[in-house]
Amino acid sequence: MAPRTLPVIEISGTPTDRGRQYGEAVRPRIRAALGYYAEAFGQSSGLTWENVTARAARWLDPVRAHAPHLLDEMQGIADGAGVRLLDVLALNARGEVIYDKSFADMTAEEEPAEGCTSFAAYGEASGDGHVYAGQNWDWRAGVADTVVMLRVVQPPRPTLIMQVEAGQIGRQGANSAGIALNANGLGGRFDDAVGLPQTVVRRDVLDQATITDALDVLCRTRAHIASNALLTCREGFAVDLETTPAGHGWMYPTDGLLVHGNHYQAGVPAALAADYRPMSSDSLVRVPRAEQGLRALRGSTGPDESRKLIKDALSDHLGLPESLCTHPDPRRPAVRHWATLVSSCVDLTSGDYHVTAGTPCDRDYQHMPWNLYDGPYGDPS
């Protein structure tokens, strides 16, 4: 079972300094992550970890060209943890390695997309008038003990709070400009052109101070794999982009509520349409169940009640174990067990950030020790 609370880490200074602080703080967790992924890749494909890092090297130049400061941060992480830069890059590009077209012929079955159910709720959908964003982050249970809460202080850019696997520079979170990013894997393999890893794209999104600049990153950047991005801002606005190397689709909330899972909801890309099947079939259950549960927010009288209603909605077990609140499936080998690693609820009105260290059905929310707005752009007036 995952720990009852997640480690909280704060880093600041130059990109290299931030990375070194991060790497030193999570050294044992990075080594655990490397051990797990070496086993997982070995079992699914026969690749050694050296094979994996050799494949990951193809993203060195694209990351350096797009965001050299983030490559410096990765180098700092490697130095602080006593590992190689390519080890850290592979942890940041583990999804890209899995979905790379050259990798397809080595797997007996296509890996499921990184599971998640994301939401935004505000306006009519929020009885207390607050703006909420969050998600259940479902991924491999074997990395649960590597997950940390990371606060990045990086003026003049916004201060970030994110939930990440140790060594990753970005995943999902929110910033001091009042922008939240929640993300979901979509699956599907596209052409051979090299795009950016999702951790780099997502970090770049959260580094932006306005919702339009965050959207511009998603629209102008070519990612290597498909991923869904749900952006919410404290002013009471949300938009969902299904980003793929072959084009994007988008959706807006209905009456202030938007939920997205791991299947294409805005439209199946033409590159996949001929034989598309949802990679995570349980997503077809999770999305409407989350919508149904979150409608209870309309009757909330305050933030405490809202958090309880959100936690209850995200604890749904229809279809267990691959339910909205995901638990390991005993029919699968341990290395292929999936679970909800983190359930998050961000109040973009107050700046309060809450997470569960594992499945929300049996854990209390952990309130982050930092307010989201303790940083540049934090004063909305």
Name beta bridge partners: 241: 229, 250
Confidence at residue 271, expressed as pLDDT on a 0 to 100 scale: 86
CA distance 161 to 374: 11
pLDDT tens-digit readout, 121-161: 999 999 999 999 999 999 999 999 999 999 999 999 999 99
Q: How far apart are CA 218 and CA 229, in angstroms?
A: 8
CA separation, residue 304 to residues 4, 129, 297, 352 (Å): 20, 13, 11, 11
pLDDT digits (tens, 9 = 90+) for 216-263: 999 999 989 899 999 999 999 999 999 998 889 999 999 999 999 999
Structural domains of the chain sorted by starting position, each given as residue range(s) with its CATH number in brackets: 8-106 (1.10.439), 115-367 (3.60.60.10)
Spans of the chain, pLDDT less than 50: 1-2, 104-109
pLDDT per residue as tens digits for the range 53-72:
999 999 999 999 999 999 99
Percent of the chain residues past pLDDT 70, beyond the cut = 94
Please tell me the predicted confidence (pLDDT) of residue 143. 94
Closest by Cα among 315, 303, 320 to 358? 315
Q: Using CA atoms, how far apart are residues 99 and 189, in angstroms rounded to an integer?
A: 6
pLDDT of residue 111: 56
Identify the burial level of 299 via C-beta atoms within 10 angstroms of its C-beta, where 0-12 means exposed, 13-18 middle and 19 or more buried: exposed
